[in-house]
Amino acid sequence: MSHFVALSLGANLNNPLYQLISAIGEIKAHPEISSVSVSSFYRTKPIGPAQPDFLNIAITLQTTLSPLDLLTAMQAIEESHLRTRTLRWGPRTLDIDLLLYEDVTIDTKRLTLPHPRMQERAFVIVPLLEIAPTLTMPDSTSLQSLLSPLSDQLTDIHLWEIPSMHQLVIASHNAGKVAEFKTLLAPLGIEVLSLSDLNINSEAEETGLTFVENALLKARHIAEITQLPTLADDSGLVVDALGGAPGIYSARYSPEKTDAANNALLLKNLAETGDTERRAHFKCVLVLLQPANDPVPIISEGEVYGTILDAPSGENGFGYDPLFFFPPLNKSFAEVTPDEKNRNSHRGKALMDLIAKLNQRFG
């Protein structure tokens, strides 16, 4: 049986934006958690000793876990983010509080439900109201009514957003890439626009000799057309035995320039080398421009290592995913779930690097 749960997450150390978005991905990936909704990000003043401001969010979800098992799962995520508990109300890389679990009330040494201090904290109530405006407490008190006694705290809570980035154009006609970016960027509350959404058929000529050069060319070309913040990626498969090929030519490796033809040519060329290790890695470079003439574009990179299979395996993904075997999951990238891929892929890693750099620039 599935149960409604409300969580509060906060972070103020080691790139808080990165910590929160990474935690969101880990929560969504749990096999006994579903229907995850995430609030906007809020910058809030800390409680306790002098320390940096926090970024806070609220999450609602459905789970088949018991309250204590859910608490254990959330504490494991905290620990994976190197959370320490040396100072009460001190700074932390990640804090996950279990606020509500249906109408259950618990009062034990390990867990109290509802959370004993949620009614005292506007930085908990405000994000939760955004995604659950009709929510009530177990005693039938409305969540909205809890804000009135906390009005003096509201001046310390501010919606966090990346300046001038309410919309972001993905400079790609690849539907698979655009879908991945929409999923990965959803927690930031940014409206992601594809070239199809804007009826743009134009493409930059990829004359660069590196992933970075081509990503810059694509980003500038589309940003000049749209005059909107633009994110471009150049990514590809790098196979050791082929001297790094297909590399920057991954999407146009074969004369037909289709996934099936590219995969077939890769297998043919790799077989001719006699290589048995078949080592390879995916590489992704992201370039973010705000605006088109941005003198300091944000550039991030991500890589993921594996081997090339003898034949395609799996129905998910796109490009070379059916041939790329990822040892940590013991599957090809076409066999993993979208959540698994987003948490482990070169594109997901590059985006996490980008988010960390956004936090440094705008945090």
Q: pLDDT per residue over 153-164, tens digit each?
A: 888 888 877 766
pLDDT at residue 272 in the model: 95
Q: Crossing angle of helices 67-80/16-29, nearest 10°?
A: 140
- Are residues 62 and 108 located together in one domain of the fold? yes
Helix, strand, coil distribution of the chain in percent, nearest 5 = 40, 25, 35
- Residue 20 maps to which CATH number? 3.30.70.560
- Are residues 132 and 212 located together in one domain of the fold? no
Q: What is the pLDDT of residues 218-246, one digit of tens each?
A: 999 999 999 899 999 999 999 999 999 99
Q: What is the mean pLDDT of the chain?
A: 90
- Are residues 69 and 201 located together in one domain of the fold? no
Domain boundary among 109, 144, 160: 160
Q: Which pLDDT band, with edges at 50, 70 and 90, does 16 fall under? A: confident
- Are residues 240 and 294 located together in one domain of the fold? yes
- Residue 48 pLDDT greater than 80, yes or no: no
pLDDT at residue 87 in the model: 65
Q: Which pLDDT band, with edges at 50, 70 and 90, does 151 fall under? A: confident
Domain boundary among 125, 160, 195: 160
C-alpha 328, offset from chain centre: 19
Residues 6 or more apart whose CB falls under 8 angstroms from that of 216 comprise: 208, 232, 287, 297
Query: Which amino acid makes up residue 120?
Result: E
pLDDT at residue 166 in the model: 79
Q: Which pLDDT band, with edges at 50, 70 and 90, does 351 fall under? A: confident
SS (H, E, C) 89-134: CCCCCCEEEEEEECCCCEECCCCEECCCCHHHCHHHHHHHHHHCCC
- Are residues 296 and 176 located together in one domain of the fold? yes
Domain limits for position 54:
3-160
| Residues 220 and 299 sit within 8 Å (Cβ to Cβ) | no
95 has catalytic annotation: no
pLDDT > 70 fraction of the chain, expressed in percent and rounded:
97
Q: Which pLDDT band, with edges at 50, 70 and 90, does 128 fall under? A: very high
Rounded to 10 degrees, the C-alpha dihedral 19/25/26/32 comes to: 150
> Could you give the CA distance from residue 202 to residue 9 in angstroms, rounded to a whole number?
42
DSSP string, 26-62: HHHH-TTEEEEEE--EEEEPPSSSS-PPEEEEEEEEE
- Residue 290 pLDDT greater than 90, yes or no: no
- Are residues 312 and 193 located together in one domain of the fold? yes
C-alpha 212, offset from chain centre: 21
- Are residues 91 and 219 located together in one domain of the fold? no
- Residue 134 pLDDT greater than 80, yes or no: yes
pLDDT at residue 124 in the model: 94
> Could you give the CA distance from residue 128 to residue 40 in angstroms, rounded to a whole number?
10
Say which residue, 292 or 188, is predicted with more confidence: 188
Mean pLDDT of 292-318: 91
Domain boundary among 104, 129, 160: 160
> Could you give the CA distance from residue 188 to residue 64 in angstroms, rounded to a whole number?
27
- Are residues 152 and 202 located together in one domain of the fold? no
Least confidently predicted of 99-113, 224-238, 333-347? 333-347
- Are residues 52 and 79 located together in one domain of the fold? yes
The residue annotated as part of the active site, out of 234, 259, 321, 353, is 234
- Are residues 171 and 138 located together in one domain of the fold? no
> Could you give the CA distance from residue 346 to residue 343 in angstroms, rounded to a whole number?
9
- Are residues 193 and 322 located together in one domain of the fold? yes
- Are residues 191 and 296 located together in one domain of the fold? yes
pLDDT at residue 182 in the model: 84
- Residue 243 maps to which CATH number? 3.90.950.10
- Residue 98 pLDDT greater than 90, yes or no: yes
| Residues 286 and 234 sit within 8 Å (Cβ to Cβ) | no
Number of folded domains that form the chain? 2
